[in-house]
């Protein structure tokens, strides 16, 4: 039987999304019609790219697989394949538990799917993708895996050791993406700052970003998922001297209590963390810092949590997310510590921390009223054009809304000078500066 249409469903992070986009390109080149995250999937084949990072993500992935497994049982789907992080970690168990799935693939062997469909992987297309994002921005994955040994994290178990992509290959991909209309690049990895250590025996992120910035057509470069210990400070100069490198850094700090940081095996102290943040703001004036924090790690006391709250109040992060500790099997903390913070205490601390940040975010947004920002338009939604400044990453940060009735001829993917006229907790409102 010949199958023509394949639905791809991506769960989890943007790194998974890049894998899905590469697979979609290969499938299309092989003659398939391909859709992504279709609300009403109608393909004969479905491929689910799963996430296995924390409990909630694993649950979402399992539920999605079961939903499609039921569709197969009811005859609405001919074949079902599963790939990605959850599949990498629990491949044998899943195959037993959900036999409706025709085959499970890990995170790195999805090319076998093409062979199982009677097709060959096309090496000539190795840097090409079918973008699922708006055509003016793309995620750029520069490495896989992680060599850090954070106590709570399952990523090294899933992805293995850090493996950097060759610099020339990344630059070739950027040139290709520019040629198809991409202007903005979200540079991503499990851990950005380790880039190059395996290939070039040095931290090479500053050189890589400099070389990407020099490619004509690259308008914005934004950096995601840095690590605070041994941060490559040469990057500060790159951010200051290259106007297309956004003054934005996503750096996961997790905690500030020395006791908790040590138990987390973060290889950084409270003092070093404060010093790094101060240096960011001194050497890159106007930088917007995004971080992620964790509450409820084993052994976290009320005093530790008080330090964390004071940290958030003092630093005033421009963007901040937080989550409650979730014990992941196989990790150091699961083997060495007792998950001794009750779930209701974790949730209470999480709510309290995010309430502090919400007030800070509202104040920082209000401070932008009256300023003129360079804004790219992402989409039209209701009565508004929806855009972002260099300080805003897609899907996770505030957006800038511009009334369509006042400016009816704006173009998606174009840059405009926008004066901010109002703000709320989550968004800014602007008008085109004439």
Write 379-384 long-range contacts (CB < 8 A, 24+): 379/134, 379/412, 380/404, 380/412
Which three-class secondary structure state does DSSP give residue 1?
Answer: coil
- Rounded Cα distance, 185 and 173, in Å: 11
Q: Of the candidates 225, 220, 206, which has an alpha carbon nearest to the alpha carbon of residue 174?
A: 220
Model pTM?
0.92
- How confident is the chain (434 residues) per 10-residue block, as mean pLDDT? 80 88 94 84 88 76 88 89 86 86 86 89 92 96 94 89 96 98 97 96 98 98 95 96 97 98 97 98 97 98 98 97 93 96 98 97 96 97 96 94 92 97 93 88
- Give 139's DSSP letter: E
- Tell me the pairing of strands 415-423 and 372-381: antiparallel
Contact indicator for 9, 64 with CB cutoff of 8 Å: yes
For residue 1, the model assigns a pLDDT of 46
Which three-class secondary structure state does DSSP give residue 245?
Answer: strand
Query: Which residues are bridge partners to 373 per DSSP?
Result: 418
């Amino acid at each position: 039987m010949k199958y023509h249409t394949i639905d791809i469903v991506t769960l989890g992070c943007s790194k998974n999304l890049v894998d899905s986009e590469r697979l979609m390109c290969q499938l299309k080149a092989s003659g398939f019609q391909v859709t992504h995250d279709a609300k009403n999937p109608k393909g004969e084949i479905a491929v689910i790219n799963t996430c296995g990072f924390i409990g909630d993500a694993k649950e979402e992935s399992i539920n999605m697989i079961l939903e499609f497994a039921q569709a197969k049982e009811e005859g609405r789907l001919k074949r079902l394949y599963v790939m990605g992080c959850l599949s990498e970690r629990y491949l044998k168990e899943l195959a037993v538990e959900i036999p409706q799935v025709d085959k499970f693939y890990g995170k790195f062997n999805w090319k076998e799917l093409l062979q199982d469909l009677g097709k060959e992987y096309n090496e000539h297309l190795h840097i090409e993708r079918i973008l699922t994002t708006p055509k003016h921005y793309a995620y750029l994955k520069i490495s896989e895996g992680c060599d850090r040994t954070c106590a709570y994290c399952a990523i090294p178990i899933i992805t293995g050791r850090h493996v950097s992509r060759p610099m020339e290959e990344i630059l070739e991909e950027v040139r290709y993406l520019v040629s198809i209309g991409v202007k903005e690049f979200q540079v991503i990895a499990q851990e950005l700052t380790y880039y190059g250590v395996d290939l070039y025996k040095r931290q090479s992120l500053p050189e890589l970003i400099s070389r990407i910035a020099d490619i004509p057509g690259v308008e914005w470069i934004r950096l995601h998922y840095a690590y605070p210990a041994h941060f490559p400070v040469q990057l500060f100069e790159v951010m200051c001297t290259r106007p297309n490198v956004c003054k934005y850094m996503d750096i996961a700090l997790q905690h500030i209590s020395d006791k908790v940081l040590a138990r987390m095996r973060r290889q950084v102290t409270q003092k070093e963390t404060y010093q790094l943040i101060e240096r960011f703001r001194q050497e890159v004036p106007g930088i917007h810092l995004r971080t992620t924090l964790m509450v409820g790690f084993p052994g976290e006391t009320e005093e530790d949590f008080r330090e964390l709250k004071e940290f958030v109040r003092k630093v005033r992060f421009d963007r901040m997310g937080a989550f409650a500790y979730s014990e992941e099997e196989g990790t150091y903390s699961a083997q060495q510590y007792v998950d001794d913070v009750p779930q209701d205490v974790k949730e209470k601390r999480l709510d309290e921390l995010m309430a502090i940040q919400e007030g800070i975010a509202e104040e920082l947004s209000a401070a932008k009223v009256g300023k003129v920002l360079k804004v790219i338009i992402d989409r039209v939604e209701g009565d508004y054009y929806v855009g972002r400044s260099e300080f805003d990453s897609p899907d996770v940060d505030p957006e800038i809304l511009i009334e369509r009735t006042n400016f009816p001829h704006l173009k998606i993917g174009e840059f405009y000078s926008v004066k901010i006229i109002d703000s709320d907790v989550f968004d800014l409102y602007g008008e085109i500066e004439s």
